[in-house]
Structure 1
């Protein structure tokens, strides 16, 4: 499998990172099994976050005895220096380690810099001096914040959504990271489940020698798929190219990426899934979306109070309330 070096960090791994957000949805025993299997199978980059409920704890329980054999990245959503130190201390305790290889500011609404008044970057730099953090990173869904971070020279890695549904603006961001020697960690390489061919997703990302994809893993079957790519990485073929072109023709444009920054919803609407229902129901077995449970969830769209919280917090500028209504009307046609 091709390897990737994350910019100036010197971290070199297979292009096959483990995204640990989904393991918060499974038991500790199930998570430990997946994490240990991933490590034994050759995965050496694990990405989690303080915000992913018990994900850090599960990694600590499963992999602490193997700590020297893999790279560990986590994130803090803190917006103050005090919150930063609280998060870092909690992360290190739960992960059962004395350091993380990359600590990332988790989708801040601005680019933390020295002297900006928040104290965040100063705290991050101090943590690095103390050896608790080896490298400084940032994640974002806002293109302007991401570009500012890369151009600032303050960050060693950027984590940003990137898949074969990317626009020219995202492609330019990848090129900018390479130019500035900033490691690019690709989240949402399967676009929140809208991309159903991991082989096509992998083959596309393999074209970028500075990009490390992290795959969200919740089931053993998913893990087995990604582990198989270590010894047999998918190459771009005519068949995979056709899948990519078909998906781009169907999915490019106004669609919800499922990032979840619209939540919580006062009307308890499951916005990330409901706003993509028209696409999901056509791209995976429809029966799972037509259960009584999902009919009730979709009906909550009628209870929208018009607060516009979702639209105001969408990093992609979507008219989310209108998108939800359109998806619900389409959904009803499947119930007839």
Structure 2
């Protein structure tokens, strides 16, 4: 059974399963179209992508050109200058083969545009021209999130939220409900670190104002979420699984958002800062190779400039995480630690 929810003051009635289209940029066109049409045929009607998700927008455009009026398309632009804003919006519309977007969002930019900002005025002009129907914002910074909600200028907020989230994120969800701002949950699977989709779905089911956009790149992943419904609730078994995950991951872990990049020493921070978690939560063998060893050894080039820390929305001590993850990885390779 399809669960519907109202997406805040947009008044859009959408399937509680949203489709996050970032991962399909890793699939070819034919496979992506197959996955997207399977989602559509099974009732998913909200699709979120972005200008910078390479060919993701084009894949949505090809899949849904003939059924555009039956779905909601959301995209995002990261422009901080007005001219670039219009260029990105124009490109998105062309790629998605549509005259309008149901939701257009500022994409993790370095400030929260307000009513007097030329950038927000451009967004408002696009809405007045009918190019977009609703205005939203995405961010990883909780201070920006509160600014956006309190401004009254945004109809939706997209923010990281999963069963690994803490009290401040839950407070943010409740605040969105109070201000009638639709809450779109990105990274609902913890940036790939959560493997229990049923627990994730059940957790999200508790919040009637939260729309999770599951990042999907395989049919089998999609079918997992399609198999859940209003009866998928947090039972004792799922609660235990969540407690175990939260204990194992803690709060001081890399979410893999990538905003710490690029590194001046070419360290692959989003991989290296959470390698310990990968080799414990997934089969370790694929990561215990010369290729990955070389990537991990590059963490020794860290000069502790702390540019990554300044850019990290979670204020993690990244140089420390890199050091700890490399030491743990080396111990596993040497057989000193078992996974």
* TM-score bucket (shorter structure): over 0.9
Check whether the contact 1:267–1:303 (CA below 8 A) recurs between aligned residues.
Answer: yes
Alignment of 1:147-186 (within 5 A): 147-186=146-185
CA drift of 1:306 comes to 3.4
Structure 2 residues without counterparts, runs of 5 or longer: 335-339
State the alpha-carbon separation in 2 of the partners of residues 154 and 317 from structure 1. 27
- Superposed structure 1 runs of 4+ greater than 3 Å apart: none
What SS does the corresponding residue of 1:181 show, helix, strand or coil?
coil
- Counterpart in 1 of 2:137? 138
Check whether the contact 2:201–2:225 (CA below 8 A) recurs between aligned residues.
Answer: no
Which region of structure 1 is more displaced relative to structure 2, 266-275 or 134-143? Answer: 266-275
The answer to whether the aligner puts 1:246 opposite 2:244 as a matched pair is: yes
- Using structure 2 for the length normalisation, give the TM-score: 0.96
State the alpha-carbon separation in 1 of the partners of residues 238 and 144 from structure 2. 33
What SS does the corresponding residue of 2:40 show, helix, strand or coil?
helix
Check whether the contact 1:184–1:210 (CA below 8 A) recurs between aligned residues.
Answer: yes
Check whether the contact 1:59–1:95 (CA below 8 A) recurs between aligned residues.
Answer: yes
Check whether the contact 2:74–2:103 (CA below 8 A) recurs between aligned residues.
Answer: yes
State the alpha-carbon separation in 2 of the partners of residues 233 and 61 from structure 1. 34
- Counterpart in 2 of 1:292? 290
Structure 1 residues without counterparts, runs of 5 or longer: none
What SS does the corresponding residue of 1:53 show, helix, strand or coil?
coil
CA drift of 1:84 comes to 0.7
State the alpha-carbon separation in 1 of the partners of residues 122 and 192 from structure 2. 36
Check whether the contact 2:115–2:153 (CA below 8 A) recurs between aligned residues.
Answer: no
- Counterpart in 1 of 2:47? 46
1:141-171 Cα deviation digits (max 9, x unpaired) = 0000000000110000000000111111111
- Counterpart in 1 of 2:16? 15
The answer to whether the aligner puts 1:200 opposite 2:196 as a matched pair is: no
Q: Give the one of 300, 308, 311 matched to 2:309.
A: 311
1:13-42 Cα deviation digits (max 9, x unpaired) = 121011000111111111111111111121
State the alpha-carbon separation in 2 of the partners of residues 34 and 267 from structure 1. 38
Q: Count matched residues.
A: 333
The answer to whether the aligner puts 1:211 opposite 2:213 as a matched pair is: no
The answer to whether the aligner puts 1:229 opposite 2:235 as a matched pair is: no
Check whether the contact 1:22–1:216 (CA below 8 A) recurs between aligned residues.
Answer: yes
CA drift of 1:272 comes to 1.2
CA drift of 1:269 comes to 2.1
CA drift of 1:233 comes to 5.2
1:188-228 Cα deviation digits (max 9, x unpaired) = 01101111101001101100000000000111211111122
RMSD, aligned CA: 1.2
CA drift of 1:4 comes to 1.4
- Counterpart in 2 of 1:270? 268
